[in-house]
Amino acid sequence: MADTMVKQTGTVWGREVVAGIVHGRPSLMYRDRPTALGQLLLEGRRWSDREFLVQGDRRLTYQDHEEAVARVAGRLAAYGVSRGDRVLLLSFNSIEWCVCFWALHSLGAVVALGNPWWSTHEVSALAAKVQPKVAITDVDVPGVCRISTTEIRELVDSAAPATLRVADVEESDDAIIMFSSGTTGLPKAILVSQRSVIGNLHNLLALTNRLPNELPEDFQPTTSMQSVPLFHLAGVQTSISTLLQGGRLIMLDGKFEPAEVLRLIEAERIRSWGAIPTMVSRVLEHPDIQSRDTSSLSSIPLGGAAVPAELRERISAAFPSVKQRIGSLYGLTETGGLLAAASGGEIAGHPGRVGRPLPVVEVKIVGANAQGEGEIYGRTPNAPEEVIGEGSLEDAQGWIASGDLGRIDEDGYLYVTGRVKEIIIRGGENVAAVNIENTLLRHPDIAEVAVTALPDKDLGEKIGAAVVVRPEAATPSVDDLRELCRTYLARYEMPDEWWIRRDDLPMNAIGKTNKKALTADWVGRGSGTVLDA
Q: Distance (Å, rounded) from C-alpha 299 to C-alpha 94?
A: 23
Helix (H, G, I), strand (E, B) or coil at 155: helix
Indicate the class that CATH gives domain 423-531: alpha beta
Checking phi first, is residue 66 left (phi over 0); if not, alpha (psi -120 to 50) or beta?
Answer: alpha
Checking phi first, is residue 428 left (phi over 0); if not, alpha (psi -120 to 50) or beta?
Answer: left
Q: Where in the chain is the domain with CATH 3.30.300.30?
A: 423-531
Q: Distance (Å, rounded) from C-alpha 258 to C-alpha 262?
A: 6
Q: Distance (Å, rounded) from C-alpha 366 to C-alpha 47?
A: 46
CB 34 within 8 A of CB 11: yes
Indicate the class that CATH gives domain 17-255: alpha beta
Q: Identify any residues that bridge with 87 across adjacent strands, giving them in sequence order.
A: 111, 134
Q: Where in the chain is the domain with CATH 2.30.38.10?
A: 352-419
Q: Distance (Å, rounded) from C-alpha 44 to C-alpha 63?
A: 8
> Phi, psi (5° rounding) for residue 172?
-90, 0
How do strand 86-90 and strand 328-332 relate by DSSP bridges? unpaired
Length of the chain: 533
219 CB-side CA count, 13 A: 21
Q: Cα 422 to the chain's mean position, in Å?
A: 18
Structure pTM? 0.83
The angle subtended at Cα 141 by Cα 463 and Cα 250, nearest 5°, is 65
Third-level CATH fold of 352-419? Luciferase; domain 3 (2.30.38)
Q: Where in the chain is the domain with CATH 3.40.50.12780?
A: 17-255
For residue 338, CA distances in Å to 152, 386, 417, 500 come to: 32, 17, 18, 40
In order along its 533 residues, the chain shows pLDDT tens digits of 344 333 333 478 999 999 988 988 888 899 999 999 999 999 899 999 999 999 999 999 999 999 999 999 999 999 999 999 999 999 999 999 999 999 999 999 999 999 999 999 999 999 999 999 999 999 999 999 999 999 999 999 998 999 999 999 999 999 999 998 765 568 899 999 999 999 999 998 998 889 998 898 888 889 999 888 899 888 898 899 999 999 999 999 988 899 999 999 999 999 999 888 878 888 998 999 999 999 999 988 776 555 666 777 888 889 888 865 566 788 888 888 899 988 878 887 888 888 999 999 999 999 998 889 999 999 999 999 999 999 999 998 999 999 888 999 999 999 988 777 778 889 888 888 888 988 998 999 998 899 999 999 888 899 999 999 988 899 999 999 999 999 999 999 999 999 999 988 887 655 568 888 999 999 988 888 888 86
309 CB-side CA count, 13 A: 7
Burial class (CB in 10 A: 0-12, 13-18, 19+), 16: exposed
Burial class (CB in 10 A: 0-12, 13-18, 19+), 387: middle
Q: Distance (Å, rounded) from C-alpha 22 to C-alpha 499?
A: 48
CB 438 within 8 A of CB 378: no
